[in-house]
Amino acid sequence: MLDFEINRSVDDFCKEVLKKRFPNDPIRQQINNTDRDKLNFACPFCGDSKKDPNKKRGNLYVTTGTYKCYNDGCGVWIPLTKFVAALSRKYDVSPPSINKPKVEFKVASPNKRRGSLIEFLINRQIGAKLLDFSEVARRFSLIPCKDAPMESPIYAYVLSRKINTLPVFEKTCFYDSRENKIYLFNLDLKSNKILGFAVRHIDDSYTGPKYNIKNYAEFKRTGLIRELDDDSIQAIDQVNNYFNILNVSFSEDLTITEGQIDSMFIRNCVAATGVSKSNQLLDNLASLKSTRILFDNDKAGRFKSIELIKKGYRVFMWAHALMELKSKYPKRISSIKRIKDVNDLFIFMSLMNPSITYDEFNQFIDSHFSSSTLDIIFL
């Protein structure tokens, strides 16, 4: 399973630390070692998600000998030696023997195990049991965002984020009578069957998670579904982590973003709903040759993009794209520096060119991908 320069006992060290850090939580004690280049587990520093023990945002990177937590509010990013020193003292665990890793600047071939999710996606028996969109919208008394009154906060939010310009806007974006959230449906646009939906708070002052993903496990608890067995529900919920997965073509270039709204601006695109969830999507569905990575323009997105470009994936060159915009709009440099994701980029470009189309925006995006490690400087 593990094949790297750091001694195998690091795995055992982490297991012992997690047992002491989470003594009554077997789920958080588990380590995901399916990626040969890293170990993934619940962060022992912050404890990771308080609500969902399955969220594991701590990553020990083998090739760089570093540890990084992607949990908002934690963000620990330290060398392996400091990781071991801090936790061995705190939890009285004998430190492992560590050899300095050899970091080579070359493309690595990812260890793929594709197939399980593809088989699930084409399973007609499962598809026939998926909930119909109209049934869920009626159950939650949802209203299309396109019908929001002009004086409503929903209308103002949709207009400010330019979501109303998107081809999928009318079918996927809804709101409820409280008008403080947008519901983004992860559905098959042809059949109107859904995998689940994400609730997006529109108030920027809201301190909790921006997105709250609703899945079939929750639908079963509320009595909305009864026919599906637990194994099928678990599989559906796994696929529901990937927004727009039912509408893309795997025979064409597939782009992966972080956020659901970001993915709506890009052709043939899936949102991994966060960098930490992208590994399973890459391992199960995406091929190295046809996959493009377009993560957010922030520290976590750059760190993951560097990791993936070294494996041979095509990655969006944020710095290169923003340099082009700075050259074209020298009086708007301060605004360009604040662009942090795809949605921000589209908003800025539409302000500079109100007539810009969905296709024109995608042409700009297409021109700024690279799979060369020599271009890491442009990430």
Q: What is the pLDDT of residues 324-359, one digit of tens each?
A: 999 999 999 999 999 999 999 999 999 999 999 999
Both 141 and 229 in a single domain?
A: yes
Question: Considering the domain boundaries, does residue 131 fall inside one?
Answer: yes
Both 233 and 246 in a single domain?
A: no
Question: Considering the domain boundaries, does residue 3 fall inside one?
Answer: no
Question: Considering the domain boundaries, does residue 15 fall inside one?
Answer: yes
Range of the domain at 146: 114-238
Which pLDDT belongs to residue 111? Answer: 40
End position of a domain, from candidates 208, 238, 268: 238
| pTM tops 0.85 | no
Nearest to 147 by CA among 180, 170, 121, 165: 170
Contact 246, 188 (CB under 8 A): yes
Both 161 and 252 in a single domain?
A: no
Which pLDDT belongs to residue 373? Answer: 92
Cα–Cα distances (Å) from 343 to 14, 184, 263, in that order, read 38, 15, 9
Both 257 and 377 in a single domain?
A: yes
Cα separation of 126 and 223, whole Å?
18
Domain count, the chain: 3
Q: Give the alpha-carbon dihedral of 296, 297, 299, 302, to 10 degrees.
A: 80
Both 246 and 353 in a single domain?
A: yes
Both 210 and 246 in a single domain?
A: no
CATH code for the domain of 84: 3.90.580
Question: Considering the domain boundaries, does residue 1 fall inside one?
Answer: no
Both 187 and 282 in a single domain?
A: no
Question: Considering the domain boundaries, does residue 46 fall inside one?
Answer: yes
Question: Considering the domain boundaries, does residue 97 fall inside one?
Answer: no
End position of a domain, from candidates 190, 221, 238: 238
The pLDDT tens digits of the residues spanning 29-56 come to 999 876 767 888 999 999 988 777 778 8
Q: Which residues of the chain have pLDDT under 70?
A: 1-8, 34, 36, 63, 97-122, 124, 286
Which pLDDT belongs to residue 120? Answer: 66
Both 315 and 377 in a single domain?
A: yes
Cα–Cα distances (Å) from 187 to 5, 31, 340, 374, in that order, read 43, 31, 27, 39
Two structure tokens written together for 109: 């071939």
Which pLDDT belongs to residue 114? Answer: 44
Q: Residues near 323 by Cβ (< 8 Å), separated by ≥ 6?
A: 378
Both 42 and 73 in a single domain?
A: yes
Distance of CA 275 to the CA centre of its chain: 4
Both 82 and 126 in a single domain?
A: no
Question: Considering the domain boundaries, does residue 54 fall inside one?
Answer: yes
Question: Considering the domain boundaries, does residue 100 fall inside one?
Answer: no
Both 50 and 80 in a single domain?
A: yes
Both 143 and 269 in a single domain?
A: no
End position of a domain, from candidates 238, 261, 285: 238
